[in-house]
Chain A
């Protein structure tokens, strides 16, 4: 069972090759799954990874899905570096959507330029507030943020459910639990005629270099990372662990909340129960597969968006349930975690074993 031995130096090659190998292994496992289901793997891969990119609409959808994933993952990665495990970005996203939708609903009928900017601000605020709740619970009560962020996600789901089936339900609509459709001034502008891609993508385009600058240039980010890697050293240097928790959770909450506003005022156009297809959870995988690096996250965000798109396409043309994209996400994370071990370890070699046993024999 002792399969591994430590490397003398961690392998730079494995550090970079890790994600591609994990993707390859996921594809292999996926073909096995397709074979079991009696779907020809090559056709399945075509439907999953090529077909969605053959049309302009496909590329627009890819960007539309990748944008919130990348944005949320940037915030999460900051926390993961500091070993603050916020796994409730889904709840922060929903609260962001709730806050942003509140602005849209109460200004309905107005036609003012400030409505959309207000919604963006409200979304950021909602997500940041929801995240800071967990930060407060962690710093004042030592309550584990993994569990509190997740529990708050369930609470957020019920708050959303209450609002759309009660006070914010569309009075003119059917009995469905959903709000009114937002007016034009409460929506992001489509960038191209007939495509759903909208101007909210600029938020992500601006955020990525900002995060890159923050992570690679700022002393604050350095403090955060040291706090994660060597808490004792961070304490010795006088870096506050408390502020690390606050920064991590407020910023990751803020990006998730922004993504929620982008969804509500973008492709969805109203507040509904099914507002997010699990972006908050998928972003965890995006951050991990992207090596917690701002540029890596862009690449992995595009990949996960493609898995989402492929899942939808496979649902339509191959009658596979869309849950298959969750399955692939789980596999991808499994394989990456497995491959990552080989950055610092390698397989134990048989020769070494014999050497060791002969040494033991000599000692005896």
Chain B
């Protein structure tokens, strides 16, 4: 019994990894008070850049390409919303549309090419822990990178001065500005970090998870990541849980198709999206609780000196 569950849990974590990267990145941006709806587009740009890099210089370089490309893709958004104070929702949407176009445009050269992917690496000792070991520690190194990112962010946000400053900028930019913190520079940093993580998540999809380039291959994971941040109430640990929940949903749906469940495969494929809606229903229902966790300046432009 356990032997058949372990591969499912291993696959769940692999499917959750792009959501962990993109979700944690968006979480940092939103903590600083900026909501970026361009995650889907930045993931696509990261995916195509990562594929290009991996094709010539190997998977690790591809992943770096993806992160850099994602950060660059966040720049026009950052300039519009931070330096010019433009509407964040519309600018994010423009980023997504631009990303769909740019990635499809560049990706035409990579259609029907394959990549070797990345082999799992069993961490000595840790991987021999019963049940947990094989599930958590026989993954590809990128999954370990996701753990590391989570641990660092959770620690930074809760325990360090950096985390405090980031939260101050998101809660009350006026106060942070008055104390002398460079609000816009910090937000630029947070938005670009969000872009880099989205790009990394996209590159993971195209170089390791699939590993192929398919037009629009992110398939809504960017939007699900944005929803996950709300679900997580802007807390890294809950975001990890949420990402695993959605990863599990994806794998379960694939498993059900494999077992020949008498539901058409297309309707099973819709499950993660329906689940996102259900989660949003449950989580948004309590307005007061949502308001309590929401970074107070989220979505509002900050113009210094007004």
Contacts and interface: CB of A to CB of B under 8 A. Distances in A.
Contacts, number: 149
Contacts of B105: 321, 323-324, 326-327
A320 to B, nearest CB: 8
Interface string B30-72: 0000000100010000000000000000000000000000000
A345 B85 contact: yes
Given A2-B304, A143-B284, A340 B104 contact: no
Given A142-B284, A144-B284, A155-B274, A4 B267 contact: no
A147 B226 contact: yes
Interface stretch (A108-116, A119-127, A240-248, A330-338): A330-338
Interface residues of A, number: 47
B83 to A, nearest CB: 5
Contacts of A328: 101
Given A4-B85, A288-B90, A333-B94, A326 B100 contact: yes
Interface stretch (B133-141, B235-243, B275-283): B275-283
A1 B104 contact: no
Contacts of A6: 303, 306
A187 to B, nearest CB: 27
A144 B280 contact: yes
B84 interface: yes
A265 interface: no
B220 interface: yes
A326 B104 contact: yes
B98 A330 contact: yes
Given A151-B273, A334-B80, A143 B86 contact: no
B78 to A, nearest CB: 10
A330 B264 contact: no
Contact of A151 (B80, B104, B223): B223
Residue in B83, B84, B95, B104 whose Cβ sees the most chain A Cβ within 10 Å = B84
B210 interface: no
A323 B101 CA distance: 5
Given A2-B304, A141-B281, A328-B101, A337 B91 contact: yes
B264 A166 contact: yes
Nearest to B184: A1
A195 B219 CA distance: 36
Nearest to B230: A144
Given A3-B84, A333-B97, A150 B280 contact: no
Contact of B220 (A151, A162, A326): A151
Contacts of B76: 334
A330 B102 contact: yes
B101 A330 contact: yes
6 contacts: A141-B281, A151-B273, A154-B273, A158-B267, A327-B101, A337-B90
Interface of A: 1-4, 6, 85, 87, 137, 141-144, 146-148, 150-152, 154-155, 158-159, 161-162, 165-166, 281, 284-285, 288, 321, 323-331, 333-334, 337-338, 340-341, 345
Given A137-B281, A146-B37, A326-B104, 9 more contacts: A2-B304, A147-B223, A154-B220, A154-B273, A158-B267, A327-B105, A329-B101, A333-B93, A337-B90
